[in-house]
Amino acid sequence: MKDKIIFDLQNSIKVQFKDGDKNSFIDLDKIYLSAPSYKDKDKTLLLKKKFIEAIFGMTQSLSKQQASEQIENENGLDAKAIKAILYASPNFDIVSYFKLFANLLLNVAFKDEDIKQPLTALDIEKISDEDFEELLAKYLEVFFIVSWMKTLK
Amino acid sequence: MAILKQGDLVINGKPIAYEGKVKIEAGSITRNVFSQVNGSKLITSDVSTNISIISVPVRATPENIELFTSFYNNGDNNTISFRNQNFSGCVMEKLPQIEDLEVVEYMFKGDPAI
């Protein structure tokens, strides 16, 4: 599994940035994301639980056989399919899911390649809806989906 | 620490826990308008008011005192974001008088809001 990915923002955001000793503002167009660590378990476990609930929500109407095949097929979920699951699952609380992910971002999202300058809550609020949605889907795809889907096997 | 991370005030990339209200004067150029006999109005610009003033009330704990002293020692090399306003080149003219664990106001002057 990768330990770091770079996410390109479609809409750059103005953030505080320390360049050497100089504090300034920059238009950030890349976010550096590190893999979650054990200390993030309180958030990652909830993300996992709710995502699996979303999959079961989608497969509720299917027969046991169909549901099993559907889950089997979802081992290789990409960002697009992840978004479809989150939005299409009935009774899924996507607002709290996004908030939970924003909380996780405080620990895993950085403004610099050296992973030393974390995004703050203010910075995260500036990310556009489209970028945030894509960021969430990409993060789940890269760091979580393979291990999560093993739970369902 | 979890509450701090959610803060809406950030100085040099560090979320700041404040008590009370952060006061902002965003700064702007003052226009002075003078009438002229038999002529159009004369308008001049006073740039001395084109400066932001940011006042931050914080509890004077040892950690906060150390943090804000480091901001003071940075000279004008401080950046402040409060909600959707950003200020660069912020400098503290002086350190405030501090009573242990009281709420004190740290005042910064900086570039106009961006």
DSSP string computed for chain B: -HHHHT-SEEETTEE----S--EEE---PEEEEEEETTEEEEEEEEGGG--EEEEEEEE--HHHHHHHHHHHHTTT---EEETTEEE-S-EESSPPP--TTSEEEEEEEESPP-
A119-138 average pLDDT score = 94
Instruction: Tell me, yes or no, if A16 comes closer than 8 A to chain B by beta carbon.
Output: yes
Give the model's pLDDT for residue B1. 37
β pairing state of B80-82 and B23-25: unpaired
Is pLDDT above 90 for B87? Answer: yes
To the question of pTM greater than 0.95 for the whole model, the response is no
| CB neighbours of residue B110 within 10 Å | 21
**pLDDT digits 0-9 by tens, B37-58:** 888 999 999 988 889 999 999 9
**Hey, what are A135's tokens?**
């960021």
A110-119 average pLDDT score = 94
ipTM: 0.79
Domain regions of chain A by residue span: 4-151
Cα distances (Å, whole numbers) of residue A122 to A102, B10, B25: 11, 8, 20
B78-92 average pLDDT score = 93
Q: From chain B, pick out residues whose CB is under 8 angstroms from the CB of A120.
A: 5, 7, 10, 13, 15, 81
Is pLDDT above 90 for A92? Answer: no
Residue of B nearest to A117 (CA): B13
CB contact under 8 A, B12 and A18: yes
Q: How confident is the model at residue B107 (pLDDT cuts 50, 70, 90)?
A: very high
B6-35 average pLDDT score = 90
Long-range contacts of A63-72 (CB under 8 A, 24+ apart): A71/A149, A71/A152, A72/A153
A86-91 average pLDDT score = 84
Element at A9 (helix H, strand E): strand A4-19
A59-82 average pLDDT score = 66
> Is residue A114 classed exposed, middle or buried when 0-12, 13-18 and 19+ CB atoms within 10 A define those classes?
exposed
The alpha carbon of residue A123 is apart from the nearest alpha carbon of chain B, in Å, by 10
